[in-house]
Each structure stands twice: as structure tokens, then as C-alpha cells.
């Protein structure tokens, strides 16, 4: 049984759940779902403060295990930290069925420490989404945490819901931005483009991005982003909304960018911090931007 507490109302129950659990709308019909302790229809509109409980009949993934290398920054008996490369999809979908982070995780045999009372488990088929508790966009590189036990996965999920996981990104944006600031704008799915999102005056989900300028170039800016919330495409949508889209972002940037940036948006998740859900230890990780990102910094500094 998984539990979610709704922060911002206005979204359909089924849409809310499909973004958080490995379950399609059709499969949700066979799941046990309670809203504030009572059974409701999947099309029910949620309100802030609602508590959702869901138990699916089958929480196993249909993805196949593959021998795909992962850049593992840290690993213990409870979780691991990976540095996801640009171009790698986190979870199969939208025509992508192999070579994902999920496929790679299923291909690794990971044991629970003997001192735990639970029997040894493997990621394959035992954990929802193979322990994945958050995602990065395909062309966003950087740090991700993955759970290795069901208990840790549940705790990490609640930590993300409570904004208790610190995530810091750096990115190159178009235009000259100054100082620092906070963008507090709700994000909702774009009615005209269902795979994209946009800001909304009302409805949607509240999203908060704190930004700090690190370096100014002639027409571009290197920016640090601290996420208070973690909505889909949050940084990309927020920066586009204030007229400073992430460089190379074909979805949210200008139709005619100043020059082509192959490989997508120049955005990197370079810091991750949280309290270890099992040991209570403060965990801090950092992964510098890849060579592609660094090359663009050098290129822009010469213009």
C-alpha cells in the first residue's frame, strides 16, 4: 500500500496517480484506491490535503533486465546514487523500451544486508519501478537516488513528497539574468501539447524554484537552481515563463534559437542531499557537469 498526500488540488485522481506509480489508467481500474479512507471514482477531482492510498494487484515492471553500465557514485545495502548521462531515459515509455535506467537496474543483482529481518531481494520484479523514486528528463544529466528495499523506497518517496530531499542543478539559460530570485508558479499540463507543461494562475500543482546567477556571458547566463518542489520539467517551464529558457531546450525555448544545440537542454543535476532513511546519516553528493556542458561554458565565454 502506497500513501500520498495531495499538496495542490484541481487534478484528477487518475492523472495524479499515473504520474507517481508504475500503473496506467486502465490498470488503475484493478487497483485498490482509497481517498481519505473511502473508495471513490478515478475521475474524482482532488483537493489540497487529500490523502490517497493505493494498492495495485501487480507492482512488477514489464521491462526486461539488460546489461547496461551505470555510473554509480555511492552504494550501500539500502540505496544507491547514480550519475545519469545525458540522453538516457529513466523509465521505458513513449516508444523507448530498452537502454533505460530501469533496464539497467533490473540487470543488477542487489542484496539486502543480512542484518535486516527481510529475506534477500533482488531489484528484478521485487520493487516498484526497480526502486526508482524520482526522475530526470532524458537530456538532463546528473544525480539520482534509487532505493534497494521496499521500506527505503517508501521512506524516500515520502521524503520527496515532503520536500526533504535537496536537489541543486546548474544550467545555461538564454539572456542576461541578474542576482537571485524565486519563481513560485503552478505547473499544469499543456492543453494543446499533452507531453508538455506550462505555468498556470490557478489549478495544476504548485512549483517553487530558487535560482542564483553564477556567471554572466554576453547574451547567456550560468545559473544554479535549488528546487523546493520537483515537478515534471519544472526548471525548464519556470525559466521559459520568465523569458530565460534553458539553452538547447527545443520544447520550451524559442522556435528560432541563436544557434543549434545538439543533444537537448544544457541542464545538470549536480548536487543531491538528504538524511539516509535507514541510518539517519546526512548524505551529500556532487557530480560535476559532463564534458559537453563544460565545452558550452567555454564557447559562450569567448563570445
Q: Tens of pLDDT along 159-177? A: 998 899 999 999 999 999 9
Judged by DSSP in three states, 101 sits in helix
The pLDDT value recorded for residue 22 is 57
The pLDDT value recorded for residue 220 is 95
User: CA-CA distance, 125 to 113, in Å (whole number)?
Assistant: 18
Of 2-6, 70-74, 230-234, 255-259, which gets the smallest average pLDDT? 255-259
The pLDDT value recorded for residue 208 is 96
Q: What is the mean pLDDT of residues 105-116?
A: 56
Assigned superfamily of 2-55: RNA-binding S4 domain (3.10.290.10)
Q: What is the mean pLDDT of residues 153-157?
A: 87
Q: Which fold has domain 60-162?
A: Pseudouridine synthase (3.30.2350)
Q: What is the mean pLDDT of residues 73-89?
A: 94
Would 60-162 and 168-268+296-301 be classified into the same CATH topology? Answer: yes
Residue 57 has pLDDT above 60, yes or no: no
The dihedral of CA 189, 192, 194, 195: what is its sign?
Answer: negative
133 contacts: CB under 8 Å, gap ≥ 6: 145, 146, 147, 153, 156, 157, 160
**Does the annotation count 50 as an active-site position?**
no
Task: Say how many residues make up the chain.
Answer: 303
Which residues on neighbouring strands pair with residue 209, listed in sequence order?
183, 227
In the chain, the percentage of residues whose pLDDT exceeds 70 is 87
Q: What are phi and psi of 273, to 5 degrees?
A: -140, 140
In the chain, the percentage of residues whose pLDDT exceeds 90 is 50
Q: What's the whole-model pTM score?
A: 0.76
Indicate the pairing of strand 32-35 with strand 51-55.
Answer: antiparallel
Single out the residue of 112, 109, 106 nearest to residue 91, CA to CA. 106
Give per-residue pLDDT as tens, 18-46: 777 656 666 666 677 888 888 888 889 99
The pLDDT-based confidence of 109 (bands split at 50, 70, 90) is low
Q: What CATH architecture applies to the domain 168-268+296-301? A: 2-Layer Sandwich (3.30)
Domain boundaries, the chain: 2-55, 60-162, 168-268+296-301
Task: Report residue 11 as a C-alpha cell.
Answer: 487534478
The pLDDT value recorded for residue 118 is 39
DSSP secondary structure, 147-181, as one string? ESSHHHHHHHHHHHHTT-SEEEEEEEEES---SEE
Q: Are 237 and 245 in contact (CB under 8 A)?
A: no
What's the burial of 157, exposed, middle or buried (CB within 10 Å: 0-12/13-18/19+)?
Answer: buried
The pLDDT value recorded for residue 66 is 87
300 contacts: CB under 8 Å, gap ≥ 6: 172, 217, 218, 220
The pLDDT value recorded for residue 151 is 84
Give per-residue pLDDT as tens, 197-212: 999 988 888 999 999 9
Q: Are 237 and 197 in contact (CB under 8 A)?
A: yes
Residue 285 has pLDDT above 80, yes or no: yes
Give per-residue pLDDT as tens, 248-272: 999 999 877 777 788 899 999 999 9
Q: Considering the candidates 14, 50, 137, 249, report the single residue annotated as catalytic.
A: 137
Q: What is the mean pLDDT of residues 109-114?
A: 44
Choice between 185 and 55, residue whose per-residue pLDDT is larger: 185
Q: What is the mean pLDDT of residues 283-301?
A: 95
The pLDDT-based confidence of 289 (bands split at 50, 70, 90) is very high
Measured CA distances, 242 to 84, 86, 130, 171, 177 (Å): 28, 25, 37, 15, 10
The pLDDT value recorded for residue 71 is 95
Single out the residue of 295, 230, 273 nearest to residue 86, CA to CA. 295
The pLDDT-based confidence of 112 (bands split at 50, 70, 90) is very low
The pLDDT value recorded for residue 1 is 60
The pLDDT-based confidence of 234 (bands split at 50, 70, 90) is very high
The dihedral of CA 69, 74, 75, 81: what is its sign?
Answer: negative
Amino acid at each position: 500500500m502506497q500513501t500520498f498526500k495531495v499538496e495542490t488540488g484541481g487534478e484528477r485522481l487518475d492523472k495524479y496517480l499515473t504520474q507517481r506509480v508504475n500503473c496506467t489508467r486502465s490498470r488503475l481500474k484493478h487497483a485498490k484506491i482509497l481517498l481519505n479512507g473511502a473508495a471513490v471514482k478515478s475521475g474524482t477531482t482532488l483537493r489540497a490535503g487529500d490523502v490517497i492510498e493505493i494498492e495495485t494487484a501487480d507492482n512488477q515492471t514489464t521491462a526486461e533486465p539488460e546489461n547496461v553500465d551505470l555510473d554509480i557514485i555511492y552504494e550501500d545495502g539500502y540505496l544507491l546514487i547514480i550519475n545519469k548521462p545525458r540522453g538516457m531515459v529513466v523509465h521505458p515509455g513513449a516508444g523507448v523500451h530498452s537502454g533505460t535506467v530501469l533496464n539497467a537496474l533490473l540487470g543488477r543483482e542487489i542484496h539486502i544486508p543480512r542484518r535486516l529481518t527481510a529475506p534477500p531481494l533482488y531489484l528484478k520484479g521485487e520493487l516498484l519501478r526497480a526502486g526508482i523514486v524520482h526522475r530526470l528528463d532524458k537530456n538532463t544529466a546528473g544525480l539520482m537516488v534509487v532505493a534497494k528495499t521496499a521500506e527505503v523506497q517508501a521512506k524516500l518517496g515520502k521524503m520527496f513528497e515532503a520536500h526533504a530531499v535537496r536537489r541543486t542543478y546548474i544550467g545555461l539559460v538564454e539572456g542576461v539574468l541578474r542576482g537571485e530570485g524565486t519563481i513560485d508558479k503552478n505547473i499544469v499540463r499543456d492543453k494543446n501539447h499533452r507531453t508538455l507543461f506550462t505555468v498556470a494562475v490557478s489549478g495544476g500543482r504548485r512549483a517553487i524554484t530558487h535560482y542564483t546567477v553564477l556567471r554572466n556571458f554576453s547574451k547567456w547566463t550560468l545559473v544554479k537552481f535549488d528546487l523546493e518542489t520537483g515537478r515534471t520539467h519544472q526548471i525548464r517551464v519556470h525559466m521559459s515563463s520568465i523569458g530565460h529558457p534553458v539553452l538547447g531546450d527545443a520544447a520550451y525555448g524559442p522556435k528560432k534559437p541563436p544557434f543549434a544545440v545538439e543533444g537537448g537542454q544544457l541542464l545538470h543535476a549536480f548536487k543531491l542531499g538528504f538524511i539516509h532513511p535507514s541510518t539517519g546519516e546526512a548524505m551529500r553528493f556532487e557530480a560535476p557537469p559532463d564534458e559537453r556542458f563544460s565545452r558550452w561554458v567555454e564557447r559562450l565565454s569567448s563570445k
